[in-house]
Amino acid sequence: MSADAVLWIVMAFCLIVGCPIFVSLGVASTLALILTNIPMRIVALDMLKVMDMFPLLAVVGFIFAGALMEKGGMARQIVDVASLFVGRIRGGLGITTILGCLFFAAMIGSGPGTVAAMGSIMIPTMVRRGYSPEYAAGVCATGGTLGILIPPSNPMIIYGIIANTSIAALFTAGFVPGFVLGLMMMLMAYFLARRAGFTGTVDEDKGAHFWPMFRKNFFSLMAPVIILGSIYAGICTPVEASVVAVFYALFVGTCITRELKIIQLWDAIKLTNVSAGSIIIVLGVSTLFGRILTMQRIPHQLANAMITLTDNPYVILVLIGLLLLFLGMFMETLATIVILAPIFLPLITKVGIDPVFFGIFWVITNEVALLSPPLGVNLFIAQNLSGISFERVAKGAFPYMMLIICFIIMLILWQDLPLWLPRLTGQY
């Protein structure tokens, strides 16, 4: 049996029996190394290569900043302001949740982290105000997917490293699709609430309460402006901006909201260690896996095979999208990027697909993965927060998942949408 076959069979077997992704990749790569007589020293070289990826520090920084912002009360303050504007609309709390996800995503870059932050606040609130648990859990799980699209985005950072593409350009390219998709989600939340008979919940005079609440929550609302503004103004790199985010979250949590105590700080550190450690381990073994794929010329073989079928970029995007939707049911977002990006990049460049557009396309496709059973990370988080069954959460998120798929089709047909803003601002 060839080393190529062993690589895929062993990895598939490990995934089927429930091994973690890093174990599956590591075992398959090790067996392939033994069978091909490739020097084992490349393992150490690839681990050093991962440790030398300076942009990875941005991932750690944004995860830590997000944990500090949640523990320090910044997420709750953002929700309070958003609720003031849309609370009286049918489904107003659902729309508030998505607005809150848009703002919070612009600070932490994590989909599951956004669900955890917004869901812990909004799911109990919606249930108390008469919304069904399915609606509350579904809208929180879906709004959280914006965390990997609205910059800064951890998957975009990983993709930028692997594709050797400007991370700042990827961040800029995520803005317009992110806000368009967010608006579509808000309309879906409104129509679902209208069909179910949910009413608005805020009867306050918006004008009378806006300025006092704005002044009270000013520092929390300025977090996205400071973090993203420092990147686009050329003051900070994404790595430096993540450090700015950490210190800003510490400042607001300790001096403004005064909710960030020693115990909350320690919890944020533990959460960051677990999250960042798992990402780095997966990236390490995935780099080795990608090296073996390259040495076996598997990416080139796949690219040539697909080219023989069609050289139409639209058809190729559809085929890749279908594959990513399927794999997203079983594999975590970062794992699909680090495994498949080296395979697909030669193909998409050969048929003239822009790598920055492809990065945005990939991230949006993985938004569906966050809502797709049996993995469905966002669904599991929303389930834990709502206390209802996984099936009921999936039912609540299903209309939004179909909405994202429709948006992916629109993106394939209108590939200039993500690239418009980077070109306008000179980022790309």
Could you list the mean pLDDT of each consecutive 10-residue stretch along the chain, which spans 428 residues? 70 75 76 74 68 66 77 75 68 79 70 72 77 87 82 82 83 88 89 78 55 78 78 75 85 86 86 72 70 67 70 86 77 73 82 88 85 73 77 86 91 88 77
Predicted pLDDT of residue 161: 82
CA angle (89, 95, 98) in 5-degree steps: 170
d(CA 268, CA 166): 30
In a domain? residue 27: no
Answer whether residue 146 is part of any domain: yes
> In this structure, is residue 28 part of a structural domain?
no
Q: Is residue 25 part of a domain?
A: no
Residue 297 covered by a domain: yes
pLDDT in tens, 166-203: 888 888 888 889 889 989 998 998 888 888 777 655 55
Q: Is residue 4 in a domain?
A: no
Cα separation, 249 vs 243, whole angstroms: 10
Q: pLDDT at position 68, please? A: 83
2: CB partners within 8 A, 6+ apart: none
User: Around 58, how many Cα atoms within 13 Å sit in the side-chain half-sphere?
Assistant: 28
The predicted pLDDT at position 407 comes to 92
Q: How many alpha carbons fall within 13 Å on the CB side of residue 386?
A: 32
- Cβ 253 vs Cβ 107: under 8 Å: no
Q: What is the pLDDT of residue 207?
A: 52
Range of the domain at 224: 39-425
pLDDT at residue 106, as a whole number: 65
pLDDT at 64: 81
Residue 325 lies in a domain: yes
How many domains does the chain divide into? 1
CB 99 within 8 A of CB 135: no
State the pTM of this model. Answer: 0.71
Q: Identify the pLDDT of residue 211.
A: 73
